[in-house]
A and B are shown apart, each in its own frame.
Chain A
Amino acid sequence: MKGKRIAAIALMLVAVIIFPFYAAAADTDSMLSGQYRKSGASEAYSKTPNDVRKALGNMGVAGNDAKSLSKFTPVSVFKYITSTAKQNMKSPLRAAAAVLGVLLACALLGAMKNSFGEKSLDTVFGLVSTLCIAAVLLVPVTKCVSFCARVISDASRVMTAFIPVFAALGTASGHPASAVVFQGLLLTVSQAVSQIAANGFVPMVDMYLAFCVVGAISPGVNIGSIASFMRKIVSFALVLCMTVFTGILTVQSVISQASDNVAAKTAKFVVGSAVPVIGSAVSDAVNTVMSCANLMRSTTGALSLMVFIVMFLPPVIDCLMWMLVADVSVIFADMLGIGQASGLLKAVSEAMRLLTALVFSAALAMIVSVSIMLLTGMSG
């Protein structure tokens, strides 16, 4: 008997030595990456414009790799801003040089026109110099306006692509009420922003510019009050839309969060009590699954935020550059006493201010709605 026991122990030791088994925890990174791809986030990311994907790629962010999102740091964003500013600087600087050239030529030639300086022919010469400045400045400015409208339209398309991913991940992470609410809200935001900006605000900015050009060229035709009225309408409408949007978003997020908390706790209690013996283990497993889905949702949300930030930065920088060019030109025109040109340049500066406010509002609407959706999920 003793011999058999010793033989069994020896056999076990030999088996352990010859046939070792290794046990380890699952590779979470690859599992998360796989889940991330299967959630549809990669497909939604493929709907973003190529230049945005390229810019994010330069920062080290890949749309199909969750780990790469950590490379989106303040340093990389600052480098992107600097490179975009350098790239977008050429056209405004060229236009600034052209406008300053015309202003200096007018001032130089104006010194020679003193013989008719106070007479009727002076008005005509002022008109010609203002036309020169309008021709030089308006072509690139209208391109800037079209670029901003195109970016807003692209951003709403990207938001529409991400919405089903958010909804699915929100439901899987135990926030069904929030998923439903935010799905509708984000869809409304993306469509409303696109339609209102493209069909409402941008045409009004264009009309404001057109009226100001006509007013500058024909000082006898006093349409300054119409132009000022249009500027006030656009500003008021922007403030109203943002206020209403923020109010609705806040109320909806509070209500849906409370509903989700109750639903999640009820589900865990039912699972824990209804399943015999292993009920608590199943309840804990449900918790784990929901946490994993929450992580997916946060990652996807973070990716979409990065996409929106990278998309909206170039038009904002462009508008700010043109605003700076117009303001500097106004200073020179006032210094040189070229009043008619100064009026036109002030109008261009105001139009760029309106456009910057519009682009900022569209960017904030999208970024804030995604951020609130993410924060609602995290606190649950």
Chain B
Amino acid sequence: MNIFTVVGLAVTAAILAVLLRQYKPEYAMLTGLAAGIMILVYVVVASKPVISEASALLGKANIKSSYGMILLKSLGICFVAQLASDACRDAGESAIASKIELAGKFAVIIIALPLFEQVAELAIKLLS
């Protein structure tokens, strides 16, 4: 991953956003959002070796692949939700930002439902 690419893109987007905010604030928000999405996509593509290494580690440790998928998916949801939430806060819409965070939490909980069920079954078995 080329950090200079990311830094250059981020600084350029920031300058554009500052310039556009004086004339068209909505375009500034869109510029920030677009730059965030591009950087996020670039980082995700570049971090494929990290993710495959983590998956290999979980596989070697004899953990079910579904657990590893749940961990990775929840991390991805957290990233996307945080990106959108930050964009909304930048635009001054903190209420919408909170709703996005709430949606992100629910999405993670839904993804992790099989884990919840398994642990709840274990806890009930222990109590009975």
Comparing A33-41, A207-215, A241-249, A256-264, the segment that makes contact with chain B is: A207-215
Stretch from A46-54, A119-127, A355-363 at the B interface: A119-127
A101 engages B75 (CB within 8 Å): no
A198 to chain B, nearest CB (A): 14
Residues of B within 8 A of A121 (CB): 78, 81-82, 101, 104-105, 108
Contact flag A104-B116 (CB < 8 Å), given A115-B82, A121-B104, A135-B67:
no
Supposing A109-B71, A206-B127 touch, asked if A120 and B101 sit within 8 A by C-beta, the answer is yes
Contact B109 A135 (CB under 8 A): no
A315 to chain B, nearest CB (A): 18
A contact patch SS = helix
Set of chain A residues within 8 Å of B124, measured between Cβ atoms: 210
B122 touches A112 (CB 8 A): no
Number of interface residues of A (CB under 8 A): 39
Given A124-B105, A127-B112, A209-B126, answer yes or no on A116-B78 (Cβ-Cβ < 8 Å): yes
Enumerate chain B residues within 8 angstroms of A15, measured Cβ to Cβ.
none
**Interface residue ranges, A against B (CB under 8 Å):** 94, 97-98, 100-102, 104-106, 108-109, 112-113, 115-116, 119-122, 124-125, 127-129, 131-132, 134-136, 138-139, 142, 206-207, 209-210, 213-214, 217
Interface residues of B (CB under 8 A from A): 47, 50, 53-54, 57-58, 60-63, 67-68, 70-72, 74-75, 78-79, 81-82, 101, 104-105, 108-109, 111-112, 115-116, 118-119, 122-127
Further contacts, 19 of them, CB under 8 A, given A105-B57, A113-B78: A94-B62, A98-B61, A108-B54, A109-B71, A112-B75, A121-B82, A121-B101, A121-B105, A122-B78, A124-B74, A124-B78, A125-B78, A127-B112, A128-B112, A131-B112, A131-B115, A132-B70, A210-B127, A213-B119
